Structure 1
Amino acid sequence: MTSILLSVVIILVLFIVIAKPTGMYLEKAFQYKNERLNKAFGWIEKPIFKLSGIKTFHQGWKQYALSLVLLNACMIVVAYFVFRFQNFLPLNPNGMEGMEPTLAFNTAISFMTNTDLQHYSGESALSHLSQMVLIFLMFAAPATTLAIAMAFIRGLAGRKLGHFLTDFVYSITRVLLPISFIAAIVFVGFGVVQTLGSNVVLTTVEGVEQVIARGPVAAFESIKLLGNNGGGHFGVNSAHPFENPSALSNVLQLILMMLVTTSLPFAYGRMVGNKKQGRVIFAAMFILFTIGVGTSLYAEFQGNPALSALGMDATQGNMEGKETRFGVVQSSIFSVVTTAAETGAVNAMHDSLTPIGGMITLLNMLLNTVFGGIGAGFINVMMYVIIAVFISGLMVGRTPEFLGKKIEGREMKLIALTLLFQPLLILGATAVALWTPLGSETISNPGFHGISQVMYEYTSSVANNGSGFEGLGDATTFWNISTGLLMFLGRFFGLVTMLAVAESLRSKPVVAETIGTFRTDTSLFGGIFVGTVLLVGALTFFPALVLGPIAEFLTLK
């Protein structure tokens, strides 16, 4: 038990150690007039700006949001046609056929929205060209949200929002590309495959031919994790030895998933001129994260009480659906990290988690505030921060203030609309899927677990996570279209409305701080923030959780 606790503590400490220096770098990387970084990356950025006609100027929030949505929509269309007609395109040594229309629709939206939900088996559906298009989308998707997160922070700091395409390029050239390039080389050193060659056909000792799939896996892995993308080159994702061969590669995957998303509170604190507030927000999120890790580990080590009836020891941990290379500890931590950081990569079958272990992964996605995905998660965190400030202001009978700006009706209407939109999508779609045979007939487990399967699929889509309870038969037209639409709406609606909130606060005058001003850089506020997340966020979905994982847990004997 001591070794288990030590391994968990080491991983948690690593997350803390890497957060602050990465945040300091992010703050500098998005300064338009940082001569040192402009010189270091000018050799690649200047040709891009010149060829594309990008000029650094400041956009209003509507222009910024329109640029974001249009660029993403164009890339979705291009990706769709590549997937549909990959059989006519080069770099297809294994002779893959074009994707079915609804599957191509789902896959294009999935990877461009940072979701990477895969309704196909990776190594058996895509050509090398299509896999490389996915890699490109896995750069473009997190670059989109990292860019808008920086614009959002600038707005809160009272500065102009900036230019979307400039921020988009900076996200790739200064953050995602250099880190993922180094990580890919390290992955190759750990034994991850990287080749453009065709599959290898071998004859086993039994005399049977076996096809071993290969591809540009190391490049895929590095950006899928760093960009909080998820998915996998192979169908079994990070449980495959070609994607995740050892405990060392597993730890590197955990670090990459948390690298940028944990650093954003520190970048925010420096950009708004209140480093302490950034530390308080980080600490509050880390507390929620630690609670999730502890709860998941406890649940998975209890195992399934039903095993006792079969004469089996249920106290050694639930190994169902887990890789023996990683065991209960690394699999449980991975499941919490991948849903807390909204990555969606998996090294174990989430459908085989205990009811409480599965509920933690669901809660991480439903809240989307336990760090959350790159950029988008932080914006969601700040939404709850403003809600906490607003509630605190009402309790003391004065107009709430945040960063010296008054929070008034316009901002709260936009935030309320954003807050309600996600549960309406998730719970509404879940109800429809359970009501219609198109959804209910694809459930592999009857009863409470079947409800969890459906709810998990839509939660993963709306929260842009991409992992799944893979017992669900989701490779159908119904699931392809419904989850595709929800991924698109869940991605862009909140980003646009929260950018409008930042612009509204930016345009307001700064109010002088008085003795009655509620400070947001104290441990008291950190506690209020955590309470707000749990009361406002978790209780929204509590009835649905009662019908799913909680009811399943209570019926275990």
Structure 2
Amino acid sequence: MDLLQIGIVIVVLLLLVKPLGTYMFHVFSNEPNRTDKVFGSTENVIYKLIGLRNRNSMNWKKYVLSFIATNAVLIVISYVLLRLQGLLPGNPSGNENMEASLAFNTIISFMTNTNLQHYSGESGLTYLTQMAFVTMMMFTSAASGLAIAVAFIRGITRRGEGLGNFFQDFTKAIIRIFIPLAFIVTIVLVGLKVPQTFDPTATVTTFEGVEQQITMGPIASLESIKHLGTNGGGFFGANSSHPFENPSPLTNVIEILSMWMLAASLPYMFGLFAKNKKQGWVIFSSMMILFLIFLSISYTSEKAGNPAINSLGIESSQGSMEGKEVRFGIAQSTLFSTVTTAATTGSVNNMHDTLTPLGGMAALGEMMLNVVFGGKGVGLVNMLMYAILGVFICGLMVGRTPEFLGRKIEAREMKLIALVILVHPFIILVPTALSFITSSGYDSLSNPGFHGLTQSLYEYTSSAANNGSGFEGLGDNTIFWNVSTGLVMFFGRYMSIIAMLAVAGSLSAKNPVGETIGTFRTDNKLFIGILISVVLLIGALTFLPVIVLGPVAEFLTLH
């Protein structure tokens, strides 16, 4: 039954990949199509309001500057909202202004599409900031990431045309993709009894005669873009394990598909841009194979249960249900955990701190690799980076100048790719080490053993991968954790984006190289194997030692 549930979700995803990928290609191809009739007039009004008179294609530097400037304006507006939320309307619960270091962390978190939450949504924010800050950021950060992915694709598939216009891509992503899909998902969730209201906190009397405050609010609308935009920030501290955010197995499946389908469709869109659908299916197949590996590890580990508990003679046929909702069970809990860390969403429907050691390792591994579908474009861009690296390595082995999509791969591109590959482990491992040599970091851990190391490692891995899920068990709302994870999220987002757009700009300027009998093909099964091997090799070289010290050591001690 468990495997049937998982299989049905994967089959539905596969059915969505082609139509969604085709739709996104038409949206961003900048060629006349049917979507212009539906959304064109609305976009033209927006272009006039922001003074965008022409929509000329930008080079990579101008595209990056436009992206950063837009993000900077949104950060300033959001900081003011959070610091003054207690004085603003839309605050029926009387929540206070957010503290400075927490506001810094929260703003960086949501602007970088991470949505790491060091606060509890129902008490840390007001109705106004849940909508004007959280929901707004969920749309804009997701649209920013998708625009970057599209620009990168244009750069490596087209010559001399620039990367497109950031403001046009940004607007199209919101108007033509996220708003329509979010509207549909919101209506479906409301129909499945997810609350959508502006009523104040309800006061009810329990069977024991005790008064209890129940927080409500515009939950369904936040849930839709939270998953579609691979944001993950929950209306409640319990996130998608809360019965208001995720009341049933059906809503659970809808949320899984919402955070997975756009990311999974991007490789097909890439194939259409490259005018070679096989290229897109190679990337998709590589991602799916890696995903199934991690899902298998997580499911079998959680299903086997906790050996320490099993040794007490209370073994459960359900598996390790600690920290999981009974309404979801092992199958929908492990699938959710695997998808949310694969798609760098960060939404959780179970407590990751209570995952078995290998289950936690699977979640960590996907974020460390950061190529298994990824968020809005992150996984695709990173996987294409590894594809270029794979071509380069194969070229060195046969003594031929490497080529990818008809462009020569030379020193400049490889230096930038090497920078991206090195930055990711650096901003994870260095802060993790610092957290164990400073009292500010170490005192926040709730477990002194191998599990404690994983708590800190998970926090920084989630931040660097712009995932946002928490291992929990960590007292993270302190100046040390707010500032350190805020910086990791910032560098994890912007350094890689700048470097990869520089690669796209460099490749776009190159003359195409004609295909010959000696050209190394990148659209066949052999390249799928090469691509997966390169990803796993780089991941093992950078992260295997710390994985051994954390989850693997904990697993061995339990057995």
TM-score, normalised with respect to structure 1:
0.98
Is contact 1:363-1:538 (8 Å) kept? no
Q: Deviations over 1:239-280 (max 9, x none)?
A: 011000001000000100111100010000000111111111
Q: SS at 2:311's partner residue?
A: helix
CA displacement at 1:151 relative to structure 2: 0.8
For 1:514, which of 513, 516, 523 is the aligned residue? 516
CA displacement at 1:314 relative to structure 2: 5.2
Match of 2:147 in 1: 147
Q: Deviations over 1:340-385 (max 9, x none)?
A: 0000000000000000000000001000111111112211111111
Residue identity in the other structure for 1:332: T
Q: SS at 1:201's partner residue?
A: strand
Q: C-alpha distance in 2, partners of 1:405/1:97?
A: 55
For 1:162, which of 155, 164, 175 is the aligned residue? 164
Q: SS at 1:472's partner residue?
A: coil
Match of 2:91 in 1: 92
Q: C-alpha distance in 2, partners of 1:261/1:169?
A: 19
Is contact 1:304-1:314 (8 Å) kept? no
Match of 1:5 in 2: 3
Is contact 1:266-1:278 (8 Å) kept? yes
1:385 matched to 2:387: yes
Q: Deviations over 1:168-189 (max 9, x none)?
A: 0000001111001110000000
Is contact 1:116-1:344 (8 Å) kept? yes
For 2:549, which of 535, 547, 550 is the aligned residue? 547
Residue identity in the other structure for 2:24: L
1:456 matched to 2:455: no
Q: C-alpha distance in 2, partners of 1:213/1:537?
A: 42
Q: Deviations over 1:131-151 (max 9, x none)?
A: 002000000001001001111
CA displacement at 1:429 relative to structure 2: 0.5
Is contact 1:142-1:229 (8 Å) kept? yes
CA displacement at 1:43 relative to structure 2: 2.7
- Matches of residues 400-549 of structure 1 in structure 2 within 5 Å? 400-549=402-551
1:235 matched to 2:249: no
Match of 2:343 in 1: 341
CA displacement at 1:538 relative to structure 2: 3.1
Is contact 2:3-2:331 (8 Å) kept? no
Tell me which moved more, 198-207 or 125-134.
198-207
Match of 1:123 in 2: 122
CA displacement at 1:35 relative to structure 2: 4.2
Match of 1:183 in 2: 185
Q: C-alpha distance in 1, partners of 2:528/2:31?
A: 34
Q: Deviations over 1:474-497 (max 9, x none)?
A: 111110111111111111110111
Match of 1:65 in 2: 64
Q: C-alpha distance in 2, partners of 1:58/1:231?
A: 33
CA displacement at 1:309 relative to structure 2: 3.2
Match of 1:194 in 2: 196
Q: C-alpha distance in 1, partners of 2:357/2:524?
A: 36
Match of 2:25 in 1: 27
CA displacement at 1:337 relative to structure 2: 0.3
Is contact 1:96-1:127 (8 Å) kept? yes
Q: C-alpha distance in 1, partners of 2:318/2:155?
A: 51
Match of 2:39 in 1: 41
Residue identity in the other structure for 1:518: F
Q: Deviations over 1:223-246 (max 9, x none)?
A: 000000002001100001100000
CA displacement at 1:11 relative to structure 2: 1.2
Q: Which runs of 4+ in 1 moved over 3 A?
A: none
Is contact 1:443-1:471 (8 Å) kept? yes
Identical pairs, percent: 56
Is contact 1:115-1:343 (8 Å) kept? yes
Q: C-alpha distance in 1, partners of 2:512/2:291?
A: 34
Q: SS at 2:203's partner residue?
A: strand
Tell me which moved more, 516-525 or 205-214.
205-214
Q: C-alpha distance in 1, partners of 2:34/2:199?
A: 40
Alignment CA distance shift 1:316-1:324 (3 Å): closer
Alignment CA distance shift 1:314-1:206 (3 Å): closer
Q: C-alpha distance in 1, partners of 2:83/2:217?
A: 20
Structure 2, unaligned runs of 5 or more = none
Match of 2:214 in 1: 212
Q: Deviations over 1:181-223 (max 9, x none)?
A: 1100000001101011211011222221100000110000000
Match of 1:298 in 2: 300
Q: SS at 1:484's partner residue?
A: helix
Is contact 2:151-2:164 (8 Å) kept? yes
Tell me which moved more, 237-246 or 27-36.
27-36
Match of 1:312 in 2: 314
Tell me which moved more, 333-342 or 300-309.
300-309
Match of 2:359 in 1: 357
| Number of equivalenced pairs | 555
Is contact 1:305-1:314 (8 Å) kept? no
Is contact 1:85-1:98 (8 Å) kept? yes
Q: C-alpha distance in 2, partners of 1:363/1:5?
A: 22
TM-score, normalised with respect to structure 2:
0.98
CA displacement at 1:32 relative to structure 2: 2.2
Q: SS at 1:310's partner residue?
A: coil
CA displacement at 1:308 relative to structure 2: 2.9
Q: C-alpha distance in 1, partners of 2:412/2:431?
A: 29
Match of 1:321 in 2: 323
Tell me which moved more, 341-350 or 70-79.
70-79
Q: Deviations over 1:64-118 (max 9, x none)?
A: 0011011112211211110111011111111111001111111111111100000
Is contact 1:335-1:361 (8 Å) kept? yes
Residue identity in the other structure for 2:357: P
Residue identity in the other structure for 2:111: M
Structure 1, unaligned runs of 5 or more = none
Q: C-alpha distance in 2, partners of 1:378/1:72?
A: 22
Q: C-alpha distance in 1, partners of 2:310/2:172?
A: 56
Is contact 1:265-1:278 (8 Å) kept? yes
Q: C-alpha distance in 2, partners of 1:316/1:249?
A: 22
Q: C-alpha distance in 2, partners of 1:147/1:518?
A: 30
